[in-house]
Amino acid sequence: MNEVIGIIIAAVISWLNFVLIDTWMGLPEAPGVKGAEVIGRNIKKRGGDLAGGFFQGNIVCSPDASAGTLLASIGCYLIGTPEGGLIAAVLVFFGNRLCADPGYAGTTGALTITILIALTSYIGLTPIMFIAGMMIAILTIQGLYHPASSKLLGKIAQRMGRYTEIE
Amino acid sequence: MLYIVYIIAIGSAMILGLILKLPLLPERPMRQSWTTSVIFPTAVLALGFTAMVSKLGYLTSANSNYLIALAIGVLTAIFSKFILERILPRPLQEESPDESQEVSP
């Protein structure tokens, strides 16, 4: 497959993987660690959405599905599919606990993207496309414009019934 | 067949985990739960440890592979039940600020 098209498809898959899993696991509902709350409130102060801000704070402060997606892609590239992804899932779990975060979003994200990498290898997608794709996916959330991305994440959280009740 | 090795490792870890009275899943909301359970993280750890052993080249012949997978499963369940919380304890500091907030008003 053409590398550019592959990276675009991988970016879309990675984006959906980590946003849907993180939202389903309740990242927008509440900050898992103290730093996430600070980031969430700061994003709200700058015109963003609080639930989206908590989501963004949570993925900065501890390994969640975004880190799981990236690390599993790197693991599959370095070690092989699916072993690299499975090893990454274990490392993400330990990373979560070291960050005092009890969640399982990172581990779940690493396992689901490993399955997706294994399945999409049949249409020519490679783990390195997923590494590049995930970098683009996380850039759209964390790197461009926080107020807009947090509002989008807040709307997704509302649709999935995971909007925060914290004021 | 490598996938049978994974199934044996997960199966043995889960069965021993249930025998050791680990809950099947952490209580809800899972995001706030520190409970070690059979699915999370025992089964995931069994998968990862099997992948590590496999990639380190210890899975060579079919017969010994199944025994190694069984051993990984058993050791993972014991690790989850008795050792995991010692090396990764629950943070105690999390509770104190909340308590002080409740008391202060």
Map out the domains of chain B as residue ranges: 2-23+36-92
The answer on pLDDT for A45 being more than 50 is yes
The answer on pLDDT for B94 being more than 70 is no
Q: How far apart are CA A81 and CA B25, in angstroms?
A: 27
User: What's the mean pLDDT in B9-27?
Assistant: 93
Q: Tell me, what's the ipTM? A: 0.87
User: What's the mean pLDDT in A143-162?
Assistant: 94
Q: What is the pLDDT of residue B32?
A: 76
Domain boundaries, chain A: 3-159
Give the model confidence (pLDDT) of A67-122 as tens digits: 999 999 999 999 998 999 999 999 999 998 888 888 889 999 999 999 999 999 99
- Are A1 and A24 in contact by the 8 Å Cβ rule? The answer is no
Q: How far apart are CA B53 and CA A131, in angstroms?
A: 25
Phi, psi of A166, deg, nearest 5? -80, 140
- Are A108 and A18 in contact by the 8 Å Cβ rule? The answer is no
Nearby residues of A44 by Cβ (< 8 Å), 6 or more positions away: A50, A53, A150
The answer on pLDDT for B16 being more than 50 is yes
User: Nearest CB to A107: which of B31, B32, B44?
Assistant: B44
Instruction: Tell the burial category of A167 from Cβ atoms under 10 Å away from its Cβ (0-12, 13-18, 19+).
Output: exposed
Residue of A nearest to B37 (CA): A104
User: Nearest CB to A83: which of B54, B90, B97?
Assistant: B54
| Buried b / exposed e along B75-97 (16+ C-beta atoms within 10 A) | bbbebbbeebeeebeeeeeeeee
Nearby residues of B38 by Cβ (< 8 Å), 6 or more positions away: B13, B14, B17, B18, B22, B23, B24, B25
Our CA-based measurement puts residue A107 at a distance from the nearest CA of chain B, in whole angstroms, of 8
Within chain A, residue ranges assigned H as helices are 3-24, 34-45, 50-61, 65-78, 83-98, 105-120, 127-138, 146-159
User: Nearest CB to B55: which of A83, A93, A94?
Assistant: A83
User: What's the mean pLDDT in A21-47?
Assistant: 90
CB < 8 Å to B88, chain A: 94, 97-98
Identify the weakest region by mean pLDDT among A136-140, A146-150, B23-27, B43-47: B23-27
Phi, psi of B13, deg, nearest 5? -65, -45
Cα angle: B48, vertex B29, A142; to 5 degrees: 70
Q: What is the pLDDT of residue B102?
A: 45
Tell me the count of A-B CB pairs closer than 8 A.
65
CB < 8 Å to A79, chain B: 51, 55
Q: What is the pLDDT of residue B104?
A: 44
Q: What is the pLDDT of residue B93?
A: 59
CB < 8 Å to B34, chain A: 102
Q: Rounded mean pLDDT of chain A?
A: 93
User: What's the mean pLDDT in B31-42?
Assistant: 86
Our CA-based measurement puts residue B19 at a distance from the nearest CA of chain A, in whole angstroms, of 23
Q: What is the pLDDT of residue B3?
A: 87
Q: What is the pLDDT of residue B100?
A: 45
Confidence band (pLDDT; 50, 70, 90) for A154? very high
Nearby residues of A11 by Cβ (< 8 Å), 6 or more positions away: A132, A133, A134, A136, A137
Identify the weakest region by mean pLDDT among A70-74, A144-148, B62-66, B74-78: B62-66
> Token digits for A12?
């879309």
Say whether residue A64 is in contact with chain B using an 8 A CB cutoff: no
The answer on pLDDT for B101 being more than 60 is no
Cα angle: B77, vertex B5, A18; to 5 degrees: 75
Give the model confidence (pLDDT) of B62-71 as tens digits: 788 999 999 9
Identify the weakest region by mean pLDDT among A43-52, A135-144, B28-37: B28-37
Nearest CA-CA partner of A83 in B64, B39, B79, B2 = B2
Q: How far apart are CA A24 and CA A108, in angstroms?
A: 11
pTM of the model: 0.89
CB < 8 Å to B33, chain A: 102
Q: How far apart are CA B65 and CA A157, in angstroms?
A: 45
User: Nearest CB to A107: which of B32, B40, B49?
Assistant: B40
